Chain A
Amino acid sequence: MSISTDSFASPDDAGTLSRLQRRLELAAEAEGLLDVAYTIVDSPVGSLLLAATPKGLVRVAYDIENHDRVLDTLAQRVSPRVLRAPRRLDPAARELAEYFDGRRRAFDLPLDLSLSSGFRLLVQRQLPSIGYGQTRSYRQVAELVGNPKAVRAVGTACATNPLPLVLPCHRVLRNDGTPGGYVGGLSAKTALLSLEAAA
């Protein structure tokens, strides 16, 4: 026999480690060390990463945004104390599930908007004023925030929205009524618009 790492492995290591990770998650929350909690949930528009600070939901990310890269960015810009800890995201996951079921038209969640600033933040804050099932053009949103010439900047604000779905940038379309771009991809935008049109 040889003595190596494997000599001290056990067939149930995976189970033990996932139990220990749950314990770490609870201890981190109890000791105020869970700066960023995240989970990944399934949805009709692909898997979604949800992340929250103690203040509130800080990030919703589509699969095509690359979840690993999103976590790296959270570690750099918010705190490296990032743990997979689904419990804190339970309310957000539940409200999103209700939304996709057509049972919810607005979100009622504490938000942490610290990933945005300046004009982008101004635009993103305005997005919930576009009601469920309605749409606005980039130009109309620019007018709404009192800067009618900032059409491009409104587009950038939507493209960099840290909380898609919850801050409904999918309801902002090109001036000619075509969907335009979307942080979750065009097919996700179309799917959300038809979900809301059908309700």
Chain B
Amino acid sequence: MKQPFEKVVEQHGGTVLRVCRVILGVHDAEDAWSETFIAALRAYPDLPDDANAEAWLVTIAHRKAIDVLRSRKRQPAPFGDVPDAPTTLGVPGDGDGDLWQAVAALPDKQRQAVAYHYVAGLAYAEIAAILGGSTDAARRAAADGIKSLRKKYPGAAMEGAPS
């Protein structure tokens, strides 16, 4: 039985917002969130009842984010403009802003793999389906991403879904 779409928004809205922030930064995250959920609402009646709604939403968010990333690359604006809205990045000076910069500096695939595994909690097989390529490649991209984040944050411990 399919639940009302409102419940899908309630259950997954926060995760999708955080994923969009990691992939795109705070500026574009809200537009990507909106486009993701309107596309999801449109397609919702056709989603199989037993589908994993979160993986489905992350897949849509991934496509919407790629559109944004592509249009950015065509424009001269640099990607490093993420943390210039300090109030949405936690307490200024506690180092979170630096984490954002480090995440923004990762290659797209690594940043995506980190977001989908550590923020959305998807399994590597699900991430592979989203990114294309093998499960191993998805695991490697996440591991490489985390490794380079750790270099900047020697104390960083990783919490994510079991792989």
A, B in one complex:
yes
Min distance, Cβ B127 to any Cβ of chain A, angstroms = 15
Q: How far is the CA of A9 from the CA of B15 in the complex (A)?
A: 9
B2-A24 in contact (CB<8A): no
> Which listed residue (B1, B9, B95) contacts A83, Cβ 8 A?
B9
B17-A13 in contact (CB<8A): yes
> Which listed residue (A10, A24, A80) contacts B90, Cβ 8 A?
A10
Q: List which A1-17 residues lie within 8 A (CB) of chain B.
A: 1-5, 7-13, 16-17
Residues of chain B lying within 8 A (CB to CB) of residue A9: 14, 18
Q: Does A81 interact with chain B (Cβ within 8 Å)?
A: yes
> Which listed residue (A5, A24, A33, A82) contacts B34, Cβ 8 A?
A24
Q: Residues 38-51 of chain B: 1 if any A CB is under 8 Å from the residue's CB, otherwise 0?
A: 10011011000000
Min distance, Cβ B113 to any Cβ of chain A, angstroms = 13
Query: Which range holds the interface residue count of chain A?
Result: 35 or more
Min distance, Cβ A190 to any Cβ of chain B, angstroms = 32
Stretch at the interface among B59-67, B70-78, B131-139, B148-156: B148-156
Q: How far is the CA of A38 from the CA of B34 in the complex (A)?
A: 20
Query: Which range holds the interface residue count of chain B?
Result: 35 or more
Q: How far is the CA of A8 from the CA of B14 in the complex (A)?
A: 10
Q: Residues 8-30 of chain B: 1 if any A CB is under 8 Å from the residue's CB, otherwise 0?
A: 01000111011001100000001
Q: How far is the CA of A71 from the CA of B7 in the complex (A)?
A: 10
> Which listed residue (A2, A5, A74) contacts B157, Cβ 8 A?
A2
Q: How far is the CA of A122 from the CA of B46 in the complex (A)?
A: 33
Q: Does B119 interact with chain A (Cβ within 8 Å)?
A: yes
A82-B6 in contact (CB<8A): yes
Q: Does A84 interact with chain B (Cβ within 8 Å)?
A: yes
